[in-house]
Structure 1
Amino acid sequence: MTTASLSGSARLPDVAERGISLYRAIWRWHFFAGLLVIPFMISLAVTGGLYLFNDEIDDTLFAYRNIVPVGEAPLQPSAIVANAVEAVPGSAAVAYRTPGGTDRSARVTVGVGAGRMMVYVDPYTADILDMVAPSEEFNRVVEDLHSLDFFGKRVETIIEIVAGFAILLVFTGIYLWWPRQQTGGVITVRGTPARRVFWRDLHAVTGIVSALLIVFLAFSGLLWSGYWGSTVNGKLTAAGLGYPVQLWDDVPTSTKVSTDVLSKAGWLVENAPVPLSTTDGGSVPSIGIDRAVAIADKAGMLPGYELAIPGDETGVYTAAIFPADLSRERTIHIDQYSGKPLVDIAFGQYPPLGKAIEWSINVHKGQEWGLFNQLLMLTTCLAIVFVSLSAVVMWWKRRPAGRIGVPPMPPRRSIYAGLWLMALLFGLAFPLTGIAIVVMIVLDQALMLFAPMRRVLS
C-alpha cells in the first residue's frame, strides 16, 4: 500500500494501513488457532452432544440393566450388596447406588485388587443384571473421551488449552465478522456450496449466532480442567466462596477428599475433605449398610444416591447425589459407629458464587431446563461442528495449489506489539492457553525468516 501526500488527506492512508495490519494480524491468529484446535473442537462437540442424553441412552440401549419389573418390596441393601460381592470372587464392596425409582436397578461397585467392577442388581430378587468395569461403561467412555481423560491425565491438559482457544476464536471471529460496508455474510449466506463465499458466510453467520453459547460452553468446561479449574476451586475455597469450610470445624478429617470416595462429586465439593469416624477403641461395631441407608433416607436424600462404604476402621459412609434438580444436591458423611451425620452439606448452603458455578455446570450438561436445555446445548454442539467444517472447506477452496495458504502478514509488523500485550493479558486469565499463544506467535515469526517456509505457508 502506498502512502499519499496530498494536503488534508495524508493521515488517511496511515490509518488505513494500521487497520489493514490489525485485520491481517487477527485473521492470521484466528487461522492458526483454528488450525490447532478444530479436531478437538469437533471431538468435544460430538462427545458432548452424546453425553447430553446419557440418561436416555441408559434407558434405551442399556435398559436391560437399568430398568426392572416392579416387585412387592425391595430387599435390604446388605442382601443386594452380598449377592454382588459373591458374583465377583475376591471382591469387596466399595459403593452402593440406591434404586432411583421403583422400576430401577441398584448398583454395587466392588473392588478387585486395584480395579473396580460395577454390578447391576435387581433390588427385588438380587439377580445380577450385568457387570461392567467403570472405565468400560458407555457413558463413562463418552465422558472420558470428551475430557480426553481416556488418554491419561497429561493429555487431559489439552482440553484447557482448547477451551481457551475457543474463547479466543470467538472474540477474534467477532472482529473479523464485524460489518465493514459489506451487506452479505452478516446475517445471510450468499452463493452456493460450490463457491467459497458460501462457506465463508456459513462460517461467519453460524459463528456469530452461536458465539455467546460457545463462550459459555468453553468457560464452564474450563471449570473441570486440571490446572485452571483446580486453581479456581482452591482460590474460591480459600476466599470463603467455595464449599462452607466451617462445617468441618468440629470434626476430624482424613487426607482423602470427595473424589477419592465418590465416583461422581459436585464441582464445589470435589476437594472437600472426608471426615473420620471415631473408633472408641474398637469396642463399638459398625452400624452396617442397612442402617446407613436408612439414616440417609430419613435425612431426605433423593433416591438414586450413591453411598460410599468405609474401607477401614476410620472411614465414613458418604451419601451423595448431584441430580438435575440442584435444590436436591447433597452430600452427607455418616460416622460408621454412631450413625451421626458428621457433615451434611446441600446446595442451599453454597455461597452465591458457588451456586452460580454449579448452575453453569448444570446448564453445560443439559440438566437445568429439561429437554429444552438438552436441545439448546445440542444445537450449540452442532454449530461448533458446522463452524469447524466450514472453516476447513473455506480454507481448502482459498489456499493456493501446493501451499498452505496462511493469511498474509500485516504490512506493519509493529502491530504485533499490541497483540503481544493482548496475549499477555489473556495468558494471565488462562495461563496454559497463554503459553500456547506465545509459542504460536514465536513459531510464526521464526518461520517467516526463512524464504522457503514463507513460500510454503503463504
Structure 2
Amino acid sequence: MTTSLTHNGLRAERERRSPDLYRAVWRWHFYAGLLVLPFLIWLAVTGGLYVFKNQIDGFFHQRLLTVAQAATPARAPTELAAAALAAHPGTLVKYTPPASATRSAEALVATTAGERLAVFVDPYRAQVLGTLPDGGSVAWTIRKLHSLKYFGPVARGAIEIAAGWAILLVLTGIYLWWPRGRSGGVVSVRGTPAKRLFWRDLHAVTGLGVGGMLLFLSITGMPWSVLWGNQINQWANGHNYGYPAGVRVQVPMSDMKLADGETPAWSLQQARLPESGHEEHEGHEDHDGHSGHDGHEGHMAHAGHAAPQMPAPPSALSLDQAVAAFDRLGLAPGYAVQMPRGAQGVYSGSVYPGDLSRQRVVHLDQYSGKPLLDMSYADYGPMGRALEWGINVHLGMEWGVFNQALLVVTCLGIVLLCASAAVMWWKRRPAGRLGVPPQPANRKLQAGVLALLLVGGALFPLVGASMLVMALLDWLAFARRVQPA
C-alpha cells in the first residue's frame, strides 16, 4: 500500500473537500483537543480503575471486609453496633448487615471527636476488625479523584467543561473522519510510526472505534457535574419532595434528605425523608396507591365516669426489629440501614446493586415498622429510569464482566486517542508556533460553525461560556493574521 503521501499531499487532499468548512471544523476540533486531552487521559485512567472498585477494595481492605464463617449464627445487629460504639464512642448513623456469610458488618459512627468512621465488625464474634474514614476506601478515593472532588467546585467545573468539549470532539471528529471517496485511513492505518500520516490514521481509526462510547460516557457523566448536573437533578426530581416522576408521595415529609446520611442513586439526591408517628391521622397511601392504617386504632379506655387515661409515648423499634422488617420486605443483600434522626425520623433501608431491578429504598415508621415509602427502579418515571440505566452502564455495573471489559477497552482507546493526537500535532506544528489549523477564507463560515456549537453550549452553560472565551481568544490572537493555506 502506498505510504508516500506527504504533509502537502494531505493538505491538498483536504482542500479538495470543501476546504472552508473543513478548516472551520478542524480548527474547533483542534481547540477542543487542546482543552480536553489532559482531562480525558485523567478521566480514562481513573475511570478505568474505578470499574474494578469491588476487586480493588477486596484486595486492599480484605482484612476489614471478609471474615471466616462460623458454625454459630451471626450476632444480633444491636450487639454488633454496640461493639462498634464501645470501640469508638459516638452516635450510630448507619448500619450495613453482612451481605454474605463471609462478609463483615459495617457501622457508620459519628464519633464524639467529630469524625465519621466506618467501623467493621466480625458478625460471629462481635469483634471490631478496624475502621476507615467515611468514604475513605481505595475505590472511593479513586472515584473522588475521577471527579476532582478533592479540589473543590472550580476543578469540578473544569471537568464539566471537559465533558462538554469531549462531545464536541466526537461530533467534529466524525466530520473530519468521513471518507468522502477516500479509502486509506478510514478503517486502516497507513505509513510507519516515523510518519505523521501513521499517527493521523491511527487517531482517526481509534476515534472511530471508541468515539461512540466516548460520547456516551460524556453524556452520562454530565448528571454528576457541578452546575448542569445539580440543576437538571433539581428539575427532574424537584417535585413530590425530590422524588422522581412516577413515585407518589402521600405521607408527611420532613426537611431532611436521604443524601444527608448516605450516597444515594442520582435520582434520589433531592429526596426528602418522610416522618414517623402519623398513623393516628387519616391513613396514607402506600407506594402501590392503597389506603391503609397500621392496625392500631386509637381509643380511650373508660371506666365508668373516670377521666380518660393519656396514652403512653410510643416506643421506637430496635435496630434488630428494623433489620428484620427490611429482611421480610426482601431488600437485596448489601442494603444499608440509615438510623432515625429525631423523634419523627425513619429507618431508611437502601440498596443500589448492579441489577437495577433490585435497586430499592424503603422508609419505615420508627414506631410501627410500617413502610411509609417503598421505591424501586420500576417506580421511577421514564426519565429517571433512562438516567439511572445510563449511570449504571457508566459505572460498569449493568452487564457484569462484559460491562467492565467494554469500559476498560474504551478507556485504553481514549488514552491512545489522546496520545496519537499529541504526536500528530507535534509532527505537524511549525517550529516555535502552536500550529493552529488555518482559518477558512470565508470568516463568516467560522462564525456559523461557532453559532451551531453554541446551540449545544446553551444546553450546558459552562461549556457555552468556555466556547465564547475560546472564540474571543482566537479572534484576538489571529484576527489580523492571514494564515497560509
TM-score, normalization by structure 2: 0.85
After TM superposition, give the deviation of residue 61 of structure 1 in Å: 2.8
After TM superposition, give the deviation of residue 261 of structure 1 in Å: 2.0
5+ long unaligned stretches in structure 2: 1-14, 281-310
Give the equivalent residue in structure 2 for 1:254: 254
Q: Tell me, yes or no, if structure 1 residue 428 matches structure 2 residue 458.
A: yes
Q: What SS class does the counterpart of residue 69 from structure 1 fall into?
A: coil
Where do residues 155-194 of structure 1 align in structure 2 (5 Å cutoff)? Answer: 155-194=155-194
Where do residues 294-305 of structure 1 align in structure 2 (5 Å cutoff)? Answer: 294-305=324-335
Give the equivalent residue in structure 1 for 2:372: 342
Partner amino acid, structure 2, of 1:99: P
After TM superposition, give the deviation of residue 282 of structure 1 in Å: 8.6
Q: Tell me, yes or no, if structure 1 residue 100 matches structure 2 residue 99.
A: yes
Corresponding pairs, count: 437
After TM superposition, give the deviation of residue 416 of structure 1 in Å: 2.3
Partner amino acid, structure 1, of 2:323: V
Deviations 1:33-72 (A, max 9, x none): 1111111111111111111111111222322111111122
In 1: Cα distance, 2:342 partner to 2:319 partner: 14
Q: 2:429 aligns with which of 399, 411, 415?
A: 399
Give the equivalent residue in structure 2 for 1:4: none
Identity of aligned residues (%): 44
In 1: Cα distance, 2:122 partner to 2:258 partner: 28
After TM superposition, give the deviation of residue 397 of structure 1 in Å: 1.3
Where do residues 43-442 of structure 1 align in structure 2 (5 Å cutoff)? Answer: 43-71=42-70, 72-89=72-89, 91-112=90-111, 114-237=114-237, 243-244=244-245, 247-249=248-250, 251-262=251-262, 264-278=263-277, 283-442=313-472
Q: What SS class does the counterpart of residue 348 from structure 1 fall into?
A: helix
Which is worse superposed, 302-311 or 417-426?
417-426
CA RMSD, 1 decimal: 2.3
Over 3 Å counting, the alpha-carbon distance change for 1:31 and 1:282 in structure 2 is farther
After TM superposition, give the deviation of residue 114 of structure 1 in Å: 4.4
Asked if the contact 2:246/2:379 (under 8 Å) is kept, the reply is no
Deviations 1:114-165 (A, max 9, x none): 4311111111112222211124321111110111112123321222211111
After TM superposition, give the deviation of residue 327 of structure 1 in Å: 1.1
Over 3 Å counting, the alpha-carbon distance change for 1:282 and 1:324 in structure 2 is farther
Over 3 Å counting, the alpha-carbon distance change for 1:208 and 1:154 in structure 2 is same
Over 3 Å counting, the alpha-carbon distance change for 1:372 and 1:137 in structure 2 is same
After TM superposition, give the deviation of residue 231 of structure 1 in Å: 2.5
After TM superposition, give the deviation of residue 29 of structure 1 in Å: 0.8
After TM superposition, give the deviation of residue 334 of structure 1 in Å: 1.2
Asked if the contact 1:228/1:430 (under 8 Å) is kept, the reply is yes
Deviations 1:275-313 (A, max 9, x none): 122289991222121111111111101111111112322
After TM superposition, give the deviation of residue 107 of structure 1 in Å: 0.9
Give 1 or 2 for the bigger CA radius of gyration.
Answer: 2
Asked if the contact 1:17/1:411 (under 8 Å) is kept, the reply is no
Asked if the contact 2:246/2:380 (under 8 Å) is kept, the reply is no
Over 3 Å counting, the alpha-carbon distance change for 1:238 and 1:77 in structure 2 is closer
In 1: Cα distance, 2:404 partner to 2:211 partner: 18
After TM superposition, give the deviation of residue 205 of structure 1 in Å: 0.4
Partner amino acid, structure 2, of 1:341: P
Q: What SS class does the counterpart of residue 210 from structure 1 fall into?
A: helix
Give the equivalent residue in structure 1 for 2:297: none
In 2: Cα distance, 1:339 partner to 1:244 partner: 26
After TM superposition, give the deviation of residue 326 of structure 1 in Å: 0.9
Partner amino acid, structure 2, of 1:146: H
After TM superposition, give the deviation of residue 246 of structure 1 in Å: 5.3
Asked if the contact 1:242/1:351 (under 8 Å) is kept, the reply is no
5+ long unaligned stretches in structure 1: 1-15
Asked if the contact 2:120/2:130 (under 8 Å) is kept, the reply is yes
Deviations 1:2-30 (A, max 9, x none): xxxxxxxxxxxxxx799212111111111
After TM superposition, give the deviation of residue 450 of structure 1 in Å: 6.3
Give the equivalent residue in structure 1 for 2:307: none
Give the equivalent residue in structure 1 for 2:39: 40
Which is worse superposed, 398-407 or 227-236?
227-236
Partner amino acid, structure 2, of 1:120: F
Partner amino acid, structure 2, of 1:227: L
